[in-house]
Structure 1
Amino acid sequence: MKFAILLTVASMASAARLDQVYLPPHSAASGGANAGLQTPFASPARYSDQSFAASDQTNEKNHAEILKFENEMNEQGYRYAYESSDGTKAEQEGQIIPGEAPEEGSLQVSGSYSYIGDDGQTYTVTYTAGENGYQASGDHLPTPPPIPEAILKSLQLTASESKYNSQKSSYDADAGY
């Protein structure tokens, strides 16, 4: 029994050694926080140049250049716009809406952005943000289902003042019941 416990403790200690931890193959060449560390049990012959070439091509594909950039600010608000080589576009403008007191006020923002999805389609979102919150619209965004007819009729009845008096409730003590 003592032998089994001793063997279990030795196995756990051996499994917890630092050289069992995986480090990415490029960690030593990156010059980052892992510079100078080596991948455990890895020799240079273990990784082929083809795998590095494939990852470099992927990085080039994901790299986008800025084609257009505008940024303007003044006392009334701001405006910015940019476009990149991968088809991503964005523009936004914000205006300060003054309040009653000089320190009060709000910001009314409107803008849009578009990008090319993995399926090759261009997706565009147009939005506004302000006192009524953030409101986005786009052809690809989900829309709520229509209101069922019974609920719609109930809302219309509740809103009409001919049937219900907003001044008094049926729960009022002096409602005449």
Structure 2
Amino acid sequence: MSSLSIVLSAILVAVVSAGRLDHLTQGYGGAGAYNAPPSQYENINNGDGTYRFSYDTPSGISARESGSPRAAGPEGLAVTAEGGFSYRAPDGQQISLTYTADENGFHPVGSHIPTPPPIPEAILRSIEFNRQNPSSDNGAYNGGRNAYRY
């Protein structure tokens, strides 16, 4: 690759990166909207699959992520990433989320993420009963045994 190609590639990456940051520096609109550069910004790509980035904006948005090829995937090493972000929601709630992303998917953690309700006690008892009393017919329907007859 010629040095001119490298310089042009670097300029293209800088322009694309700057365009991608525009939405991060916007307010929620209306009178409070503003466009200001990030107060802190770091973007490091080592060229070997390892990277890290972070930024903070004057509007209170912050994010960070780092990654490296660690897990074997179908097309070679897959990048495993970990990071987090935070911001203040329009209702004033501080939203903070941390995550990992690996060969098993995206795993977010945050107090604002909805969680399912607990499993009812009767269902837990049923699951335990079924675990202790496995079916001898692999769960297949048998209309002759214990079936309601007309």
1:130 maps to 2:102: yes
Shift of 1:119: 2.4
- List gaps (5 residues or longer) in structure 1: 1-56, 173-177
Match of 1:108? 80
* Alignment-derived partner of residue 137 in structure 2: 170
Q: Distance in 2 between matches of 1:67 and 1:149?
A: 51
Q: 1:99 offset after TM fit, Å?
A: 2.5
Whether 1:62 aligns to 2:34 is yes
Given that 2:49 and 2:79 are in contact with CA atoms closer than 8 Å, whether structure 1 keeps it comes out as: no
1:73/1:170 CA distance change after superposition, 3 Å: same
Q: Which residue of 1 aligns with 2:116?
A: 144
* Whole-angstrom CA distance in 2 between matches of 1:152 and 1:116: 39
Q: Separation in 2 of the partners of 1:58 and 1:100?
A: 46
- CA radius of gyration, larger in: 1
Distance in 2 of aligned mates of 1:137 and 1:104:
28
1:99 match: secondary structure: strand
For 2:138 and 2:118, the matched residues in 1 are separated by: 33
May I ask how many residue pairs the two structures share in their alignment? 110
TM-score normalized by the length of structure 2: 0.60
Deviation per CA, 1:128-154, whole angstroms, max 9, x where unpaired? 222221121211221111111122223
Higher relative contact order, chain-length normalized (CA < 8 Å, sep 6+): 2
The whole-number CA distance in structure 1 between the counterparts of 2:37 and 2:61 is 10
The equivalent of 1:90 in structure 2 is 63
| Structure 1 pair 99–136 and aligned structure 2 pair: CA distance change class (3 A) | closer
The sequence identity of aligned pairs, in percent, is 35
* Unpaired runs of at least 5, structure 2: 1-28, 140-150
| C-alpha distance in 1 between matches for 2:73 and 2:108 | 28
Q: In the superposition, relative to structure 1, how do residues 99 and 61 fare at CA in structure 2: closer, same or farther (>3 Å)?
A: closer
CA contact (8 A) 2:62 2:86 kept: yes
Q: Whole-Å Cα distance in 2 between the matches of residues 153 and 143 of structure 1?
A: 22
CA distance, structure 1, for counterparts of residue 71 and residue 138 of structure 2: 43
